[in-house]
Chains A and B, each alone.
Chain A
Amino acid sequence: MTLAWRAGLMGMVFFALLAVLSLRMWQLQVAEGQEYAERAESNQVGFAPTPAPRGEIRDANGVLLAGTRPALAAVVDAKILSEEDEPQLVAQLSALLGLSVEEVQMFIDDVQARGDRVPIVSDLTDQEALFITEHGENFPGVEVEPQPIRTYPLGELASDIVGFIGLPQPADVEGGAEPTVLLGRAGLEKEYDSQLQGTPGQIVYRFDARRQGDVLSEDVPTPGNTLFLTIDTELQRVVEESLAEGLQLSRDLYEDPDCVPGSADDGGDPRCPVRAAGVVMDVTTGAVLAMASVPTYDPNIFIGGVSQAELDALPDGVFNNFAIQGEYAPASTYKAVTYFTAYEEGMPPYSATNLEEEILCSKELRLPFLGEGSQQVFRNWTGRDDGLQNIHRAFTRSCNVYFWEIAAQIWNEKQGTDDESILQDWARDFGFGEPTSIDLPFERKGLVPDRALFELWKEETPQRLDPARLSYASPWLGGDLMNAALGQGEVLVTPLQLANAYAAMVNGGSLWEPYVVDHIENLDGDVVADHEPTLLRSIDVSPQTVANFRRDMQQVVNDPAGTAYSAFEEFGDNVELVGGKTGTAEIIKETEEQEGVTTALFAAVAPVNQPRYVVVVVIERGGSGGRIAAPTARPILQYLLNGANAVTPIDAGEDAD
Chain B
Amino acid sequence: MALTAERTEPISILQRERPLRPDLMLVLSFLALSAIGIVMVYTATAPALELAGADTATTMRRHAIFVMIGVAVFIVASLIDQRALLSLTPIAYLGSLVALFLVLTPLGTEFNGARRWVDIGPLPFQPSEFAKIAVVLALAALLGNGTAGKVRWDHIARAIVLVGLPAVLIFRQPDLGTMLVFGFVAVAMLFASGTTWRQLAFLVIAATVGAVGIFRAGALRTFQIQRLTAFLDPSEDLAASALYNQIQSEIAIGSGGFFGKGLGQGTQTNLSFVPEQESDFIFTAVGEQLGFIGGTIVIALFGVLVWRVLVAAVNGRDRFGQLVAVGVAGMLMFHVFVNIGMTMRLVPVTGLPLPFMSAGGTAFIAFSLALGMAHSVWMRRSPVPGE
Contacts and interface: CB of A to CB of B under 8 A. Distances in A.
A and B are partners in one complex rather than unrelated chains: yes
Interface of A: 1-4, 6-8, 10-11, 14-15, 17-18, 20-22, 24-26, 28-30, 32-33, 35-37, 39-41, 43-44, 82, 84, 206-210, 212
Contacts of A209: 248, 271-275
Interface in B258-295: 258, 267-268, 271-275, 287, 291-292, 295
A61 to B, nearest CB: 55
B287 A25 contact: yes
Given A40-B268, A208-B272, A32 B254 contact: yes
Given A20-B337, A36-B251, A206-B271, 15 more contacts: A3-B314, A6-B191, A7-B310, A8-B314, A17-B333, A24-B344, A28-B250, A30-B257, A36-B254, A41-B267, A44-B273, A207-B271, A208-B271, A209-B271, A209-B273
**5 closest A-B pairs by CB:** A36-B254, A40-B255, A208-B271, A28-B254, A33-B257
Interface in B309-347: 310, 313-314, 322, 326, 329-330, 333, 336-337, 340-341, 344, 346
A600 to B, nearest CB: 65
Interface string B237-254: 001100000001011111
A91 B340 CA distance: 44
Given A24-B341, A25-B287, A25-B292, A35 B254 contact: yes
B51 interface: yes
* Main DSSP-derived SS at the A contact region: helix
Contacts of A41: 255, 267
B377 interface: no
Contacts of A210: 272
A18 B303 contact: yes
Contact of B314 (A4, A43, A208): A4
Interface of B: 51, 149, 188, 191-194, 239-240, 248, 250-258, 267-268, 271-275, 287, 291-292, 295-296, 299, 302-303, 306-307, 310, 313-314, 322, 326, 329-330, 333, 336-337, 340-341, 344, 346, 385-386
A206 to B, nearest CB: 8
A39 B333 contact: no
A11 B251 contact: no
A21 B346 contact: yes
Contacts of A26: 292
B329 A14 contact: yes
17 contacts: A3-B314, A3-B322, A3-B326, A8-B310, A14-B303, A15-B303, A18-B302, A21-B340, A25-B292, A25-B344, A29-B254, A29-B292, A33-B256, A41-B267, A43-B273, A44-B273, A82-B240
Contact of A11 (B255, B256, B287, B310): B310
Contacts of B272: 208-210
A25 B267 contact: no
Nearest to A45: B267
A39 B255 contact: yes
Contacts of A30: 257-258, 292
Given A18-B299, A82-B240, A209-B271, A25 B192 contact: no
A325 B385 CA distance: 105
Contact of A43 (B251, B329, B386): B251
B345 to A, nearest CB: 9
A14 B240 CA distance: 35
Contacts of B252: 40
A30 B314 CA distance: 37
A188 B339 CA distance: 65
A40 to B, nearest CB: 4
A7 B250 contact: no
